[in-house]
Structure 1
């Protein structure tokens, strides 16, 4: 597993992203290609209900609701930042009752009953969390996913796989170690290192590099949900 690093506290993360606000959308130059890869492999078209852990400004949620989710599907998202919650709510107003955004108190605890969603989505959030909270994320995902094919879909900063992307991820990690707030609390991390093969089947993994920034796209199903082998790159 990745080495332990000091991460931003929930209060520190909230304060940072309250200040960051709409500027989060400017990160699309490296995030969007990874999210496009996620969309191409997650079968959102078959979802009835989706939960997003860390919805940010609601940009990705609106993209899913308008272009990929069926008209009958509903969405619920949460975020630790009240500013982000407000931005997402306003962005998703056009989706009416299909979309709901709620605040998070910083604990990795999903505001959902057991076995209630088809997809759990999280983009560029797990790379802020402690190792213990990443493990809680997977535990909560198992709790809320519907049996029989529910998916966890993750995009995260990761370690580079080419010379330029290795340089970028190394410099990013150096900045993080100097002070997590310099990089919004995010650091390159291999999320697949936290996947327990007794619990999860990897159905898709790819490292997508855009403008030198490497992102890991990881799609999982609960073990035993399908008989398909993993597609990993």
Structure 2
């Protein structure tokens, strides 16, 4: 199932990128497409963790996992709150996946490399997971650092404290930064803090993810929407006079 219209959108009042010196990227479902088959593996590992922790069958564990996700935002937050699990053990288990399905992405690597300024990853996952995936994509060397869930004291996006901790840890001036994310609600606080925001949506609906996570939300806290990150980033480094807003179409 495809999105009903091409997901390239920029509002007339959206921030551009002329003053941006820090480019911040979420990892999962942002820096790789759904056909990389990363998230389905992670999702299945989380279900298996819940099965073993509670002694449940697969269907019951899946239902509990989804309940946790909707109530707490992440399964890890739920298990920390309700069971006091070791977060490092959980993350190591959840991210023990087959990386052979991830393809090298030269166009994305080239586009990220040419961005002027710093590049950082901000993820609700682990540093190890981010580094493994980025290495397979061929883009790891373009990033200065990874700010992961452990660095956030296991408080996930979209909590305001996580973004504030990230900005402080890396000395990022939010009004000179842009965040690329695949979930619209994770861009609300960054926008309020002064960051430019880009929502990255899939070209094809991914059946392994919730529908709301893939929606091309057109709200005030979303400056830009794209379903082709490499092309969007390539447009960002063209001369301002020739590019205008990258990949933009107006309503």
State the TM bucket, normalised to the shorter chain: 0.3 to 0.5
Q: Which has the higher contact order (CA 8 A, sep 6+)?
A: 2
Q: Larger % of strand: which?
A: 1
Question: With structure 1 as the length reference, what TM-score do the two structures score?
Answer: 0.43
| Structure number, greater radius of gyration | 2
